[in-house]
């Protein structure tokens, strides 16, 4: 079944007109980076074009509802850096045929972040260089800034209580469990070593030298007084993380409407072995006056993103049920909270909804919640009535309303503001990066509010996108996006194709935009890009998602081959490459040993080569412990330890997904690791890895390359010494893209 791109890119171009930036006299600071004026003569997207695009983020509606404050980051490739500054746009969409207005507020040489309006709209607060600043706002202009903090460890993010009498902010304290030579002997202040006697000593891309913490301090006209700042963890300060590493932020902490309490998410387990094996993150309530903390009792999975209702009577948050399973269904949960922090009537609003809820936002009257969810390959905005019937689990399938239309191929994020029946949100697609949009709540119609990248995108030739629902080997249907090169001619010469093997393994190929794996860019190099939403993707129900756990070598690999056979059956397709990152890299390495002659070349970025060895060296142990086959036998409570025990408990921890487990799925998983099939490798392979990748350490990429070399397979290794799981520095990103396309062109064109 074929569906053509319903809203053609040319139509988008007609909506997104040339951006109009109003310039006022703003002092340009040293190091300032402005918008690119790149000219594209051939209409072809390139890596340089991708890096020239502005990256819009963190929109905030003004108190009077007239303006949207947001930041845009621009990149200077030669300087190898980006810089973020502040802008304004009207909260009302421009009229038909009119140009969206953008007003620049700052031209700083150091990035400005976390910008927030004062409650009266006359001041804008922001962070720069780890400190808090404020600047007066008048008639669309920002006055001279004044520094308000001198916090030693830097402030990461902040939130004011509703009346602005207090401020909460996040910072760090030293991790006492990871020591350095100077901790043993102060005279060894130039020695460099890390010493630990427990797990969780590094995370994502850094050694855990510091622990994130959250503080509350009085706020007035003067400096934020660090001597009056209170750590909300009290006696447990420095033991636990608030927010949670490595990606948690201020969204994990919220004020009550009266400013007397704080709700926050925390895994109250010290960094160490238990921390590494658990996802048991809970919601806590903290009373500022009594400094009392109350835990909301839940199932034992991941609970996060609390949001208090405007009337102060309820708290909503996102919740997973099962400890150790990071891809569990994300439920939208609500509880009643009284003045004494008594919690009652905890209920899952999404019991009948087979998809993951995200980004909960309350309506002004506290009667409804808005959220976004990936459903059948698209991210949409939903609304649900919060029915107050004690003990009842409401069926979201009957109670939720989809606001954004099903036939609009865009990804919509949850609204950042709701006004007069209009949802203000951000959106994107495979055709354009993040912009702001106004969505009519009544009929789902929408109009763009910004056109940050219009001047660049309008110079590019459009790429057509189609959706195919392909039959799988077990009789199901799989959504597969296909993106065609500009000016694609089905009856002309043959085109090479790229099949994307998705990472995760739980994730979704939706209409999202990426600056690292950009499918429009790939198509613009003359490739047909194939994006199969194989087993394990999260937008097609929990059964489809969960099937992949413990079956990495099974149905999802057949799904990839189904998509490959389909695209190769088209008369306009020539050679085919398979490319993937993370679990997608695992898929590349595994597919290299089983594909026969399906693919003509491979690219693996940050891929898993040897699953058994990875279990010894990765840092979040709950993930392989569950996904590598321990799921069906999994029970978090350990059994009898030792060789005469239950075969799954070792060192006091339940490790049913470990290489030494006797769980049947784990045994099958490790015996079929990609490293077991290297003697069958024969297809050219590019291996890429970052040395700061602690999730899948770079020796996995080196081992795969070494294996390819020893098998006589044409192969190439690229190691980035200053990058993590992702390639982020501008010049490194440019080099990555050039090498990526050079390898594809060498073997597929």
Classify residue 606 as left (phi > 0), alpha (psi -120 to 50) or beta. left
Residue 680 three-state SS: helix
- How many angstroms separate the CA atoms of 480 and 116, rounded? 40
Residue 295 three-state SS: strand
Domain ranges of the chain: 465-610+674-748, 621-672
Q: What is the pLDDT of residue 24?
A: 60
- Which residues are catalytically annotated? 582, 693, 725
* Assigned CATH topology for domain 465-610+674-748: Rossmann fold (3.40.50)
Percent helix, strand, coil in the chain, to 5, is 20, 30, 50
Cis peptide bond N-terminal to 246, omega within 30: yes
Residues 583-597 pLDDT 10s:
999 999 999 999 999
Give CA separation, 254 vs 251, 364, 640, in Å: 7, 16, 41
Label each residue of 586-601 as H, E or C. Answer: HHHHHHCCCCCCCCCE
With 0.75 as the threshold, say if the pTM is over it.
Answer: yes
Q: What is the pLDDT of residue 642?
A: 56
Q: What is the pLDDT of residue 396?
A: 52
* 299 class by beta-carbon count within 10 Å (0-12 exposed, 13-18 middle, 19+ buried): middle
What does the buried/exposed string (b/e) look like for 116-140 if buried means 16 or more CB atoms within 10 Å of the residue's CB?
A: bbbeeeebbbbbbeeebbbbebeee
What does the block give as tokens for 75? Answer: 């990149």
Q: What is the pLDDT of residue 10?
A: 33
Residue 687 three-state SS: strand
Cis peptide bond N-terminal to 243, omega within 30: yes
Q: What is the pLDDT of residue 23?
A: 55
Residues 5-27 pLDDT 10s:
333 343 344 444 445 566 568 99
Strand segments (E) across 220-350: 230-231, 253-255, 261-266, 282-287, 293-295, 303-308, 314-319, 331-337, 343-348
- How many angstroms separate the CA atoms of 317 and 333, rounded? 5
Q: What is the pLDDT of residue 629?
A: 82
- Taking each helix axis from N to C end, the angle separating 583-591 and 555-568, rounded to the nearest 10 degrees, works out to 70
Give CA separation, 592 vs 381, 584, 598, 667, 678, in Å: 39, 12, 10, 21, 8
Residues 32-68 pLDDT 10s:
999 999 999 999 999 999 999 999 999 999 999 999 9
Beta-carbon contacts of 190 under 8 Å, excluding residues fewer than 6 positions away, are none
- How many angstroms separate the CA atoms of 748 and 498, rounded? 9
**Which residues of the chain fall below pLDDT 50?**
1-18, 389-391, 393, 633-634
Residue among 303, 320, 332 nearest 244 (CA):
303
Sign of torsion over alpha carbons 231, 236, 238, 241: negative
Strand order in the sheet with 314-319: 303-308, 314-319, 331-337, 343-348
Please check whether residue 256 is in contact with residue 163, taking contact to mean a CB–CB distance below 8 angstroms. no
DSSP 541-589: -HHHHHTTTT-TTTHHHHHHHHHHHHHHTSTTEEEEEEEEETHHHHHHH
- How many angstroms separate the CA atoms of 166 and 638, rounded? 44
**CA 379, 385, 391, 396: dihedral to nearest 10 degrees?**
-40
Q: What is the pLDDT of residue 391?
A: 42
């Amino acid at each position: 079944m074929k569906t053509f791109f319903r809203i053609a890119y040319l139509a988008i171009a007609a909506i997104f007109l040339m951006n109009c930036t109003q310039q006022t006299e703003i002092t340009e600071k040293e190091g300032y980076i402005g918008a690119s004026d790149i000219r594209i003569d051939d209409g072809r997207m390139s890596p340089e074009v991708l890096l020239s695009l502005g990256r819009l983020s963190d929109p905030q509606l003004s108190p009077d509802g007239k303006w949207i404050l947001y930041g845009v980051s621009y990149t200077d490739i030669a300087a190898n850096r980006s810089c973020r500054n502040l802008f304004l746009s009207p909260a009302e969409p421009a009229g038909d045929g009119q140009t969206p207005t953008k007003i620049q507020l700052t031209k700083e040489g150091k990035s400005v972040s976390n910008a927030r309006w004062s409650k009266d709209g006359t001041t804008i607060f922001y962070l720069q260089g780890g400190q808090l600043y404020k600047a007066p706002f008048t008639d669309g202009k920002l006055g001279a800034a004044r520094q308000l903090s001198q916090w030693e460890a830097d402030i990461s993010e902040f939130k004011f209580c509703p009346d602005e009498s207090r401020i909460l902010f996040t910072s760090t304290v030293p991790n006492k469990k990871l020591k350095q030579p100077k901790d043993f002997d102060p005279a060894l202040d130039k020695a460099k070593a890390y010493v630990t006697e427990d797990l969780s000593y590094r995370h994502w891309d850094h050694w855990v030298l510091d622990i994130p913490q959250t503080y509350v301090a009085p706020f007035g006209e003067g400096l934020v007084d660090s001597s009056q700042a209170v750590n909300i963890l009290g006696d447990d300060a420095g033991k636990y993380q608030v927010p949670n590493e490595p990606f948690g932020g201020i969204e994990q902490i919220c004020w009550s409407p009266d400013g007397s309490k704080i709700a926050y998410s925390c895994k109250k387990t010290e960094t160490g072995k238990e921390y590494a094996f658990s996802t048991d993150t809970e919601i806590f309530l903290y009373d500022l006056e009594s400094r009392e903390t109350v835990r909301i009792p839940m199932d034992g999975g991941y609970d996060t993103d609390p949001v208090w209702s405007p009337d102060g009577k309820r708290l909503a948050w996102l919740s997973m049920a099962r400890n150790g399973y990071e891809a569990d269904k994300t439920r939208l949960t609500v509880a009643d909270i009284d003045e004494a922090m008594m919690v009652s009537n905890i209920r899952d609003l999404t019991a009948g909804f087979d998809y993951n809820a995200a980004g909960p936002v309350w309506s002004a009257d506290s009667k409804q919640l808005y959220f976004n969810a990936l459903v059948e390959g698209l991210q949409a905005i939903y609304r649900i009535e919060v029915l107050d019937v004690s003990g009842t689990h409401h069926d979201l399938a009957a109670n939720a309303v989809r606001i954004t239309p099903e036939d609009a191929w865009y990804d919509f994020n949850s609204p950042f503001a709701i006004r007069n029946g209009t949802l203000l949100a951000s959106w994107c697609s495979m055709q354009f990066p993040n912009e702001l949009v106004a969505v009519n709540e009544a009929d789902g119609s929408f109009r763009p509010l910004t056109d940050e990248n219009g001047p660049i995108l309008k110079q590019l030739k459009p790429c057509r996108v189609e959706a195919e629902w392909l039959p799988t080997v077990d009789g199901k249907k799989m959504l597969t996006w296909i993106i065609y090169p500009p000016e694609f001619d089905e009856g002309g010469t043959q085109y090479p194709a790229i099949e994307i093997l998705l990472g995760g393994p739980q994730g979704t190929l939706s209409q999202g935009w990426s600056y690292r794996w950009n499918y429009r860019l790939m198509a613009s190099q003359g490739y047909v890009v194939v994006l199969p939403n194989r087993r394990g993707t999260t937008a097609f129900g929990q059964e489809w998602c969960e099937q992949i756990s413990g079956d990495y070598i099974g149905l999802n690999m057949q799904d990839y081959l189904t998509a490959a056979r389909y695209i190769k059956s088209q008369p306009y397709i020539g050679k085919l490459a398979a490319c993937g990152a993370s679990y997608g890299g695992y898929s590349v390495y595994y597919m290299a040993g089983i594909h026969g002659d399906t693919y003509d070349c491979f690219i693996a970025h940050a891929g898993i080569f040897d699953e058994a060895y990875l279990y010894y060296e990765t840092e979040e142990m709950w993930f392989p412990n569950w996904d590598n086959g321990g799921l069906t036998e999994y029970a978090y409570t350990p059994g009898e330890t030792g060789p005469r025990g239950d075969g799954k408990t070792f060192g006091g921890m339940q490790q049913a997904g470990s290489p030494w487990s006797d769980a049947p799925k784990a045994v099958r998983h490790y015996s079929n690791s990609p490293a077991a099939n290297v003697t069958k490798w024969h297809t050219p392979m590019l291996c890429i890895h970052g040395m700061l990748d602690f999730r899948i350490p770079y020796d996995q990429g080196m081992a795969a390359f070494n294996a390819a070399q020893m098998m006589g397979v044409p192969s190439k290794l690229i190691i980035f010494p200053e990058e993590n799981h992702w390639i982020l520095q501008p010049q490194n990103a440019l080099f990555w893209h050039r090498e990526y396309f050079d390898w594809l062109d060498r073997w597929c064109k």
